[in-house]
Every structure is written in structure tokens, then in C-alpha cells.
Amino acid sequence: MKELDLETIRHALRTARENGYEVVRIRSGAEAFRGTLDLTRPESATPELVFMPEEMDADPEETEGQAFEEIRAMAVGYFAPGSLFEVSASVNKGDVVGSIRALGISNDVTSSVSGKITEVLVGEGDPVQFGQALARVEV
């Protein structure tokens, strides 16, 4: 789920209006918006509002121009690494990197990205929950 959804923006605007702010800058992950509210209009009228994408500052973790993503568990169970599941291994999107054993059945874990594994976060037999990061990949 994306954090910066319409609801977030609506909430920010409401907060801004209630507090009398005119400029709203919202940042979330790789997205940023700047909005200007016309506070002289009543709330029910269409707000005079312009939201524009902004230049983002570099993320502190990405200062060297690198980007990281994570391979995540899409099931609850016990993890078993595949042969590709090790630091420095190159993976392609869709590659099977391991499996999650649940109720006696093995479910493949595929990489959601292409890149080089820089860190493995779970080991053989570790219990994992849905969405848990299994490995970091430099993309």
C-alpha cells in the first residue's frame, strides 16, 4: 500500500486548514508535493489548491547513488533458502530464491526485483511472517 494516498493528502489539508497554514508540503518515500491553500474561501467551495511534484532531497541511505529494495515473504511459515540466496548473488526479477514451508507445502519465494543481494536477513528454518524482509537487494 502506498502511504501517500488521497486520504493522507486530505488529512494534511484538513490539518492545514484547521491550523491556518497556507503552504503544505507532503513527502513520502520517493514522492513529494507542495500545496498552497486559499484560506479565504469557505471549506465547502472548491479549494484553490495546486499540488505540484517537488524535487526531492537525496535519501540519506542513497547518498552514493545506490538504491536498495527488499525481497519479502508473501506467506507465513518457515523459510528455506535457495542456492541464489546468499550475499553477492545476482538475482533477476522472478528468480526463485527460496521457499516458505507452510502446512507441509513448500511455496516458492521469488525475487520481486533484479539486482545483487547485499544482505540476507533470515536463515534456514527461520519462521517468517507475511511481508517480512528476507534479503536486501541493490538494484
Partner 1 sequence: MIQKVLIANRGEIALRVIRTCKRMGIETVAIYSQADKDSLHVAAADSAICVGEATNTDSYLNLANVLMAAEISGADAVHPGYGYFSERTLFAEALAGMGIKFIGPSVKAIEAMGDKAAAKAAAIAASCPVVPGSDGIVANEADAIRIAEEIGYPVLLKAVAGGGGKGIRRVDSSADLGRLWKLAQNEAQASFGNADMLVEKCVIAPRHVEVQVIGDEHGNLIHLFERECSIQNLRHQKIVEEAPYAGMSEALRKRMGEAAVRVASAVGYSNAGTVEFLVDSSENFYFLEMNTRLQVEHPVTEAITGLDLVELQIRVARGEKLPLTQEQVQFEGHAIEARITAQDPDQQFAPSTGLISRWNAPGGPGVRMDTHVYAGFKIMPFYDPMIAKLIVYGRDRAEAVQRLTVALDEFHVEGIKTNIPFLRRLVRDADYQAGDISTAFVPQFLGEA
- Phi and psi at residue 9, to the nearest 5°: -65, -45
Q: Are 72 and 133 in contact (CB under 8 A)?
A: yes
The Cα 121–Cα 118 span in angstroms is: 10
Determine if 53 is a binding residue for a second copy (CB under 8 A). Answer: no
Determine if 46 is a binding residue for partner 1 (CB under 8 A). Answer: no
Determine if 26 is a binding residue for a second copy (CB under 8 A). Answer: yes
Determine if 45 is a binding residue for partner 1 (CB under 8 A). Answer: no
Q: Applying CB under 8 A, which of residues 18, 55, 57, 64 lies at the interface with partner 1?
A: 18
User: Which one of partner 1, a second copy, none interacts with residue 16, CB within 5 to 8 A by kind?
Assistant: a second copy
Q: Which residues pair with 33 in a beta bridge?
A: 26, 53
Query: What is residue 3's three-state secondary structure?
Result: coil
Beta carbons within 8 Å of 48's beta carbon, 6+ residues apart = 36, 37, 38, 41
Determine if 129 is a binding residue for partner 1 (CB under 8 A). Answer: yes
Q: Applying CB under 8 A, which of residues 16, 71, 89, 128 lies at the interface with a second copy?
A: 16
Q: How far is CA 87 from the centre of its chain?
A: 22
Determine if 25 is a binding residue for a second copy (CB under 8 A). Answer: yes
Binding site for partner 1 (CB under 8 A): 1, 7, 10-11, 14-15, 18, 75-78, 102-103, 105, 127-132
Binding site for a second copy (CB under 8 A): 12, 15-16, 19-28, 40, 57, 60
